[in-house]
A and B are shown apart, each in its own frame.
Chain A
Amino acid sequence: MARVGVDVGGTNTDLVLEANHGVFVHKVPSTPADQSEGVIKGLNELCEIAGVPASEIELIVHGTTVATNITIEHNGADVGMLTSRNFRDILHIGRHKRPFNFSLHFEVPWQNRPMVKRRNRIAITERILPPDGRVETRLDEDEVMDAIALFKKRGIKSVVIGFLFSFLNDAHERRAKEIVEREMPDAYVCCSSEVANVIREYERFSTAAMNGFVGPKTSTYLNNLQKKLSEQGYRAHLRVIQSNGGISTVEACSKQAVNILMSGPAGGVIGGRAEGVLCERPNIITVDVGGTSADISTIPDGQIKIMNPRDSYVSGHPILVPMIDLVTIGAGGGSIAWIDPAGGFHVGPRSAGADPGPACYGRGGTEPTVTDAQVVLGRMDPDRMLGGDFQLDPELSKKAIQDKIASRLNMSVTDAALGIIKVINSNMALAIRSNSVARGVDPREFSLVPFGGAGPLHGVALAEAIYARDVLVPVAPGITAAMGLLQTDMQYEHARSMIASLTNATEASVSAMNDLLDDLQAECRKDLEGDGVPPDRQRYQRIAECRYHGQGFELRAEIPDGAITLANTTAIIDNFHSRHRLDYGYHFDDGEVELITVRVIGTEQVTPLKLPTIERANGAGIDHAVLFTRPTTFDDGQTVDTPRYDRGQLGAGHKVPGPAIVIQHNSTTLVPPGYVADVSDYGNLFVHRTG
C-alpha cells in the first residue's frame, strides 16, 4: 500500500509518494491548460521511480489551484441568480467601500468583473422577516418559473439562490432550488444558506455566487481527473485539500467548490507544521517563498489558525468559508528591483516570473531580480541550479544590477545586491509581523520554517528581523507543500447563525444551542460516514463565534465538551475574552458576550506521513560532505570563502558551522558566520546562533 500527495503550482507539479519501503519525491512541469495532464504524468513517473504499481496506491491527496485560477482569469460559468425583490443589487453595491482611498481611476471588482451579470440577477417576490424568520410574503413560484425560462433561453447552466434572512429561515431558498432542479436537471444549483449559512447578506450571496461561478468547471476538472486515474489503473481514493487545511472528497468539493479556493497554499502550511511537530517545535511561522510571491502563516501550539471571516477575500470578493490564516505578499526570487523617478528604491511586487525569469536565466530578462542578487553575492552557485541541470549566467546578473541599480545609486554592484536582499527581507519581515506580532503572538517563542526552493536562503535574515527563536529548514524545502498533503485530516464543517446572549443565557437559549450543536454534529457525522469513516475515528470540534454586543466582528471561542449548561456558558465566555485579549491586546470584563454563529468541525484522524530517520553522524567529521569552497558575501557586507556542503552527505548530529552553504537538489540553505546548523534525526536543519 502507498499514498501520494500531488501539489500543483504555477510552474511545477510536486509529488511525494510514501510506501512501506520509503518516501519518494518527484517534480514535473505543470500543465496549466489542463492540470490533470501533469498530475497523471507525474504520478506515472513517480510510480516507476518508487517501483510501486498504480493499483497499489491507496490514497491520492491533491492540492490544486484550478478554482483559484478561474477567479483570476475570470472564466467561470455564466451564472443566473434568484434574489429578493427590492434587493437586486446587493452583489453590485457590495459594502460600498472603494478599493483605494486616493484614486479616481480605480476598478471595482464586483462591478467590473461580476460573478453574476445584472441581467441574470432576477428579483423574486418573497419576504422573510427578522428577528424570527417568519414569512411575510410567500415565494412567488410563477416568477421563479419565468426566471428559469429566461435562464434557459440564455443557455445558463449554473444557478444560485440568495434570499434575505435565509440564515433565519431557508424555506424559500430550498423551495426555489427544488423548482430549479426540477426544471433544469442538468444545472449546477446552490443556495446561499447551504454554502454559508450565516448572517450578512452581501458576504453570504457573494460566497454562493462564487460557488456557482467556479463550481461547474471545478467539478468537471475533479471528476475528469478521477476518471482518467481509473482509466490508468489507479484504484485510489482521490481527495482534495481545502482552504481550511482539511481534506475532502471529490464529490463534496464539487458541490462546495468554494471550499478549495485556497487549496494551493494550504499544503505548504500543513507541511511546515508537520515538520515542527516532528521536531517538537509546535510554535512555528511558515514562510513559503516562490518565484513571485511568499505565503506566510503563524501556527501557535501546532494549531492552524483560521482567518477572520472579515478578511477572507478571493480576487476582491468576500468568501465566507474557513481559510487558513495566511498572508501573501509579492516577494519572491523573481521580484524585480527598481528605482522610481523620485529616487525611491523598490523590490517587487512586479516579478520576472518564469519567463523571461531573472536576468541570469539568459532568456532575455534585463531587469535585476532577487535571484540575480543572490547569484552576484555568491549565494547561489550558477552551476548548481537544480543539481546542475540548469546553468545560470552570473555576468547577466551583474549587468542588470549595474545598469538598473548600482550606476543610478552610485554604489558598487555588491552593495546594490545587498540592498535588494535587505529590502525584500524587510518586506517579508513586515508581512510576518502583520501575521504574528499584530495578532498578539510573540515571535521569540517561534521557529521560522522557510521553504520553497529559495526560502532557506532568507531564513536566518528573516528570523533575525522578527527575533524568532531559530530557523527550522525542512527535509525537502522544494516539496514541503506536497508532503503536507499527506499530513492532514479529513474535515467537514457545518455552521449556522444563532444570535443569542451568552452573558444573559436562559434555559431556553441554552437548550436551543444544544439542539443546534446536535444538528450540526449529525450533519458532520453524515458526511464522515458517507466517506466510510468508522465512529471511533471521528473527532468533533465545536466553536462559538462570538462578539461583544454591539461589535461587528466575531472571534472564535471553543465550546467545552458535553452539553452546554447555564453553568458552563462562562467557560465559553472566558475563552472569548482571552481570544479578544490575544488578538487586540484588550478585553471588556463587563461586556455582554453575544453568540452569532455555531460551528462544528468533524475530522477523521489520518495517519501522518512517516519521515524516516537518517543515518547518525557517530563522530564522523563533515569534511567528506564538502563539495567545494567559494567566496560568498553575507548581509554584513563581508565576503568570505564559504564551503558548500552536500546535504545528502550529512548525518544526524552533525553540526555545520557558518559560514556555510548547504546544497540539495531543489534548495539551498544559507548559514551565515556566527551561526551553526544542527542536523536533526530526520535530517532537518536547525540554524541558530553559535553558543
Chain B
Amino acid sequence: MATRELDPITLQVISGALDTIAEEMGHVLYRMSFSSIIRESQDLGAGLFDTEFNTLCESESTPLHIGSIPGYLHGIQASLQGGKWEDGDVIIHNHPYYGASHSPDIAIAIPVYHDGELVGFSANTAHHVDIGAATPGLIIDIPDVYAEGMLFAGTKLYQRGERNEAMWEFIRRNSRASRQLCDDLDAQIASARLGVRRFKELLERYGKDDVLTATNQLMDYTERVLRQRIEAIPDGEYRAEGFLDDDGKNRDAHLPIKVCVRVKGDGIEVDLTGSADQVETGFNVPFEGSTKVACFCAVRSLLLDAHTSEVKVPSNQGSFRPVNVIAPLGSIFNPKFPAAAEARFTQCNRMIDLMYKALAPVLPQAVIAGSSASLSFASYSGIRPEGDYWVFLEVNEGAYGGRPRSDGPDSIDNLMCNTRNNPIEDLAMHLPMICDRYELRDDVMPGAGKFRGGIGVVKAQRMLDTGFITHENERHHDVPWGAFGGTPGQVGRVELYNHADPEGTRHDHYAKFSAIKVAPDDVHVFYGPCGGGFGDPLERPAAQVLDDVLDGFCTEQHARDAYGVIVDLDEEVVDQAATDALRAQMRSSTRPYADMIVTPVIDAANDERPKMAPTPKPADKAPTTSAPAPVAAAANDDLDAVVQRLKASFGEDWSFDILRHSVIGQTVEVHGQLKANGSVARETGRINGGGTGTLGNRLQQAADDSLRRCAERVLADGHGRYAGAAGGDD
C-alpha cells in the first residue's frame, strides 16, 4: 500500500466521491423496494468497505444500520460458504451470532475485484417484513434464535456470477411475504452492484494506491475530529441507571440498565456491567451488530452534532475507533447463543438516553433531558381472502427531552430511530386497516422546564378484519428524566378496544405483546412517552407559556401549576401582575426539582467518584503543546509567553483542564482550571462573536483566554494559596 501522504485537496475530492457513491446506493435501494419499512421508513444502510472490513463510506439512512455492516462482514468471513470469496459472488447474511444487527436486517455483500485482486466490498442491509419467524412480522415471546426465522450465514445467492436457484426457491417458500422479500432482495443486489461499479470507476480514475491512501487518511481525519471533542470532556467515570418494564413474558419483572461512561484522554468507554442478565424471550441485544453500534450513534450525535457542526465529518470507521464498549457475556446487551435477540431497539435507545444523563454534569450545554427513548414498532397482519398473508410494519414516533437552548421536538423519531411514517391515506387504500386518530397526546403534559419536553403521539389503528398484532414497545414505568430543574416527562400507554363499543371494551395493555389475535374493528392505540423538561420552568418567559397555552401544548392549569403563569384566554394575554406574584411565591417555596436547578460545577480532579487514571501530565493538557488544531498555533504567540512564565515559576508542576464549554449563538465560553503548586484558579474564557475562524478555532481561542486568565491569578498570587472561582460559575 502506498505510504505517500495525500494533500487535503485530493482528499476532499475523493471524500466527496465516496459520499456520493453511498448516497446513490441508498437511493436506489429505497426507491426500488416494495415493503414500506424500506421505501418509506428507509430502514436500511449501504456503503463500501475495505478488505479489513472498515467502513469507507455509508449512506445517511437509519442510524442503527450505520456502523453495523463491518460486523456482518466479519461474520460472513467466519461462516463463508466454501470458505473463500470469489469474483461474482453475492452473499446473503443475517445471523445475529455472526455479527448481524438482528435477523430481519438482511445484508447483501459483494466482493469487489480490481485487476484480479480483492480490493474491498460493496454491501447493504435492509429490514425485511417477514423472514418466516414464529409469528408474522415481529417477534418477542420466543424461546431461542431458531424461532426468528430463516438464518443465513455466509450464504451465496450468486456464486461466481451464477444464481443459486435452490436458495431463492427456499427463501420463496419460507416467508409470509415472499414476493416482497424476494423483490426487496433484488433491490439490495441492484444497489450493491451499483456500489461495485462505482468503486471500480473510482479506482480507475484516481488509481488504487491514491484511493486506498485517501480512505485511510479520511478514517484518520474522522477519528481525529472525534478525539478532539472527547478530549475536551473532563476525564472521569460518569454513571446513570434506569430500568425496562419487562421482557414481554415475565410481566412486571423490571430489568435494570446500568451505564458507566469512562472518559479518559481522547477515548470513551461505555461499560454496561450491572445491567440485567439476558432474558428468556427475544428481548436481547446482539452485541456486535447492535450494542456497539448504538454506542457509536450516541457518541456521534452528542459530539459531532450534524446541526451545530460546521464541518460535515465523513461517515466512516474513524468515528467508531475512539469508542470502546463493554457488556458481560450473558447479559441483556451481550446474550449467549442460542438466546433470541430480535427485539433489541428499545434497550439501545434507553442506553443512549442514560449515557446523556450520565454525562449531564460535565456537558450541561450539550446533553438533553430524558427522551421517550423507547420504540413503538407494531406488526399488523392477516390473511387475505385469496389465502395469502399481508404483513404491515409500523414504526411510531417518540419525543425528545427539553434541550439547553430549545424545546424537545414533539412526536418525532427519537435518538437512534429515524424513519418515515406511512401515509395514512395510502395505508387505508391498500390494506384492511384504517387510522382513527393521529395527533399529539392531550391526556398528559410533557416535562416542564425553561425548555419543555416534547409531546408524544397518540395513534389509533383499527383492523377491519381478523388478524394479528405484535407490539415491540417499552416504557410504561420508568419516567423520562428532567434536567437541571426541569420536571420529568410522561410514560407511554397502550389501549385496546373495539370500535363498535369503545367505552364498553376499552382497556389498558402491556407495552409489548406477541401476536395477539384481533377481531374485526379492534383498535390498537399507542400513546408515546413525553420528554422531560430542561432548566427551571420559572425561567420560561411568560409570553412563551401563553403561546403554549394558545397552541394547546400546555393547559391553563399546567401553566399555573408548573410555570407560575396566569393567562387570560379571552384576551389572549398574560396576567403579568398575577404571574409575577405567583412566580415570586413559587421561587421562595420548596419545589420538587429545585435542587437540580443550579448547573453543577464538577471539579474533575476532586470528583469523589472512582477515577480511571491520575490527572494527566501538564504536557498532555496544556493547549499550546497538545494543540489539537494544527492551524491554531499561529495565534498563540502571547500564550507561549504565559506558558513560559508558568514553567519558570512552577517547572512541570502545573496542569490546565477544561471543565466545560458552551456555545450559544456567537458566544463561545470555556471554563478552565489551572492547578499549580497547590493553587487552583478557575476562569472563564469567552469569545463574543469577535473570534475568527471555525467553531473549533473559536473554542481554542476561548480555552487560551481561560488559561491566560487563570495564569494571571495564579502568578499574581505567587505563593500558591489562591483558590477563587469567579466570573465563570453560573
Question: How far, in whole Å, are A336 and B421 apart by their CA atoms in the complex?
Answer: 38
Any B CB within 8 A of the CB of A92: yes
- Shortest Cβ gap from A181 to chain B (Å): 26
A343–B631 CB distance below 8 A: yes
Given contacts A118-B553, A551-B39, A104 and B437 within 8 Å (CB-CB)? no
A172 at the interface (CB under 8 A from B): no
Complex Cα gap A135–B305 (Å): 48
Q: Is A130 within 8 A of B429, CB to CB?
A: yes
Residue A305 lies at the interface, judged by CB distance under 8 Å to chain B: no
Q: Is the CB of A118 within 8 A of B8?
A: no
Q: Hey, which chain B residues are within 8 Å of A409, CB to CB?
A: 7-8
A553 to B27, CA, bound (A): 12
CB A237 to nearest CB in B, in angstroms, measures 39
Is there an interface contact between A103 and B436, defined as CB atoms closer than 8 Å? no
Closest residue of chain A to B23 (Cβ to Cβ) is A434
A341 near B11 with CB under 8 A, answer no
B60 within 8 A of partner (CB): yes
B628 touches A341 (CB 8 A): yes
Chain B residues, CB < 8 A from A165: 425, 428
Q: Which of B9, B300, B438 contacts A423 (CB 8 A)?
A: B9
**The residue from B31, B187, B411, B631 contacting A339, defined by CB atoms under 8 A apart:** B631
Does A100 make an interface contact (CB < 8 A)? yes
Interface segment among B108-116, B221-229, B379-387: the answer is B221-229
Given A103-B301, A118-B552, A165-B425: A97 and B20 within 8 A (CB)?
A: no
- Residue contact A130 to B428, C-beta cutoff 8 Å: yes
Interface flag for A313 (CB, 8 Å) = no
**Complex contact B629–A345 (CB within 8 A):** no
User: How extensive is the interface on chain A, given as a class?
Assistant: 35 or more
- Asked, given contacts A92-B410, A426-B12, whether A101 binds B20 with beta carbons under 8 Å apart, the answer is no
Contacts A96-B421, A200-B425; A551 near B301 (Cβ below 8 A): no
Per the bound structure, the CA–CA distance linking A241 and B624 in Å amounts to 58
Which parts of A83-100 form the interface with B (CB within 8 Å)?
86-90, 92-93, 95-100
CB distance from A352 to the nearest CB of B (A): 14
B242 within 8 A of A: no
User: Is the CB–CB distance between B550 and A586 below 8 Å?
Assistant: no
Contact, CB under 8 Å: A101 / B221: no
B397 on interface, CB distance cutoff 8 Å: yes
Q: Which residues of B from 628 to 642 have beta carbons under 8 Å from A? A: 628-632, 634
Q: Which of A93, A96, A339 contacts B419, CB < 8 Å?
A: A96
Q: A164-B424, A419-B9, A585-B194 are in contact. Are A131 and B301 (CB under 8 A)?
A: no
CB neighbours of A131 from chain B (8 A): 428-429
Contact with A along B602-645 (1 / 0, CB 8 A): 00000000000000000000000000111110100000000000
A340 CB contacts on chain B under 8 angstroms? 225, 310-311, 694, 696
In angstroms, Cα B10 to Cα A419, docked, is 8
- Known interface pairs A111-B410, A338-B694, A584-B190; A105-B425 also in contact (CB < 8 Å): no
Decide if A628 is an interface residue (CB 8 Å cutoff). Answer: no
In chain A, what residue has the closest Cβ to B368?
Answer: A104
Known: A88-B439, A119-B551, A199-B425. A102 touches B306 (CB 8 A): yes
Binary flags per residue of A585-610, CB closer than 8 Å to B gives 1, else 0: 11010010000000000000000000
Q: Of A102, A129, A201, A583, which one neighbours B301 at CB under 8 angstroms?
A: A102
Kindly identify, within residues 222 to 252 of chain B, every residue whose CB is under 8 Å from any CB belonging to chain A. 224-225, 228
Contact B413 A585 (CB under 8 A): no
In the complex, which residues of chain B have a beta carbon less than 8 angstroms from the beta carbon of A89? 411, 438-440
Contacting pair A345 B311 (CB below 8 A): no
Distance in angstroms from A344 CB to nearest chain B CB is 6
Cβ of A281 within 8 Å of any chain B Cβ, yes or no, is no
Bound-state Cα–Cα, A117 to B190, Å: 44
Cβ < 8 Å to A, chain B residues 411-452: 411-413, 418-421, 423-426, 428-430, 434, 436-440
Q: How many whole Å from A435's CB to the nearest CB in chain B?
A: 11
B12 in contact with A341 (CB, 8 Å): no
For A339, what are the chain B residues with a Cβ–Cβ distance below 8 Å?
A: 8, 631
Report A-chain residues with C-beta under 8 Å of the C-beta of B572: 154
Whole-angstrom distance between the alpha carbons of A433 and B19 in the complex? 12
Question: CA of A111 to CA of B423 in the docked complex: distance in angstroms?
Answer: 19
B301 partner residues in chain A, CB cutoff 8 A: 101-104
Nearest CB of B to A225, in Å:
36
In the complex with contacts A108-B409, A584-B28, A552-B190 CB distance below 8 A: no
A550 within 8 A of B: yes
A430 near B438: Cβ-Cβ < 8 Å:
no
Q: Given A105-B405, A344-B311: A422 and B420 within 8 A (CB)?
A: no
CA distance A119 to B554 in the complex (A): 11
Q: Is the CB of B305 within 8 A of A105?
A: yes
**B471 → chain A closest CB, angstroms:** 17
Q: Is B367 an interface residue (CB 8 A)?
A: yes
Q: Is the CB of A433 within 8 A of B306?
A: no
The answer to whether the Cβ of B478 comes within 8 Å of any Cβ in the partner chain is no
Q: How far is the CA of A90 from the CA of B224 in the complex (A)?
A: 42
Q: Tell yes or no: A33 within 8 A of B by CB.
A: no
Q: Nearest chain B CB to A1's CB is how many angstroms away? A: 48
| Chain B residues in 8 Å Cβ range of A548 | 34
In the complex, how many angstroms separate the beta carbon of B575 from the nearest chain A beta carbon?
A: 18
Q: For the complex, is B162 an interface residue (Cβ under 8 Å from A)? A: no
Tell whether A686 is near chain B: CB-to-CB under 8 Å: no
Tell whether, in the assembled complex, residue A201 and residue B12 are in contact, meaning their CB atoms are under 8 Å apart: no
Task: Tell me if A408 counts as interface (CB < 8 A to partner B).
Answer: yes
Taken residue by residue from 546 to 577, chain A's Cβ proximity to chain B (1 for < 8 Å, 0 otherwise) reads as: 00101111000000000000000000000000
A546 to chain B, nearest CB (A): 14
User: Judging by beta carbons under 8 Å apart, are A103 and B308 in contact?
Assistant: yes
Residues of A within 8 A of B57 (CB): none
Contacts of B137 in A (CB 8 A): none
Q: How far is the CB of B418 from chain A (nearest CB, A)?
A: 5
Which residues from 287 to 333 on chain B have a C-beta closer than 8 Å to any C-beta of chain A? 297, 300-302, 304-308, 310-311
A390 interface residue per 8 A CB criterion: no
> Which residues of chain A have C-beta atoms less than 8 A from B11's C-beta?
344-345
A459-500 Cβ-contact flags toward B at 8 Å (1 or 0) = 000000000000000000000000000000000000000010
Closest Cβ of chain A to B176, distance in Å, is: 14
Judge whether A101 and B418 touch: CB under 8 Å: yes
Pairwise interchain contact A101-B700, C-beta atoms closer than 8 A: no
CB–CB A433/B13 < 8 A: no
Contact A93 B457 (CB under 8 A): yes
Interface residues of B in 21-62 (CB under 8 A from A): 23-24, 27-28, 31-36, 39-40, 42, 60-62
Question: Quick one: which of A103, A107, A584 contacts B31, CB cutoff 8 A?
Answer: A584
Q: Does B403 contact A (CB under 8 A)?
A: yes
Please tell me if the beta carbons of B190 and A586 are within 8 angstroms of each other in the complex: yes
Is residue B598 contacting chain A, with contact meaning CB distance below 8 A? no
Q: Are A588 and B412 in contact (CB under 8 A)?
A: no
Contact of B413 with A97 in the complex, beta carbons under 8 Å:
yes
Residues of A within 8 A of B302 (CB): 104
B9 touches which one: A100, A345, A583 (CB < 8 A)?
A345
Do A426 and B16 touch (CB < 8 A)?
yes
- Closest CB of chain B to A184's CB: distance in Å? 20
Interfacial chain A residues near B40, Cβ < 8 Å: 552
- B residues with CB within 8 A of A: 7-9, 11-13, 16-17, 19-20, 23-24, 27-28, 31-36, 39-40, 42, 60-63, 66, 179-180, 183, 186-187, 190, 194, 221, 224-225, 228, 297, 300-302, 304-308, 310-311, 356, 366-368, 397, 400, 403-406, 409-413, 418-421, 423-426, 428-430, 434, 436-440, 457, 460, 550-553, 572, 628-632, 634, 693-694, 696-697, 700
Show 25 residue pairs from A and B whose CB-CB distance is below 8 angstroms, ordered by the A residue: A92-B440, A97-B42, A101-B62, A102-B306, A103-B307, A104-B301, A105-B307, A106-B409, A112-B406, A117-B551, A130-B428, A164-B424, A199-B426, A200-B423, A203-B423, A340-B696, A342-B228, A343-B221, A344-B11, A345-B12, A408-B631, A434-B20, A551-B33, A551-B34, A584-B190
- Known contacts A342-B696, A419-B8, A586-B190; 15 additional CB pairs below 8 A are A88-B440, A95-B420, A100-B306, A104-B302, A105-B307, A106-B409, A111-B410, A117-B550, A130-B434, A164-B425, A167-B425, A203-B423, A342-B221, A343-B631, A551-B34
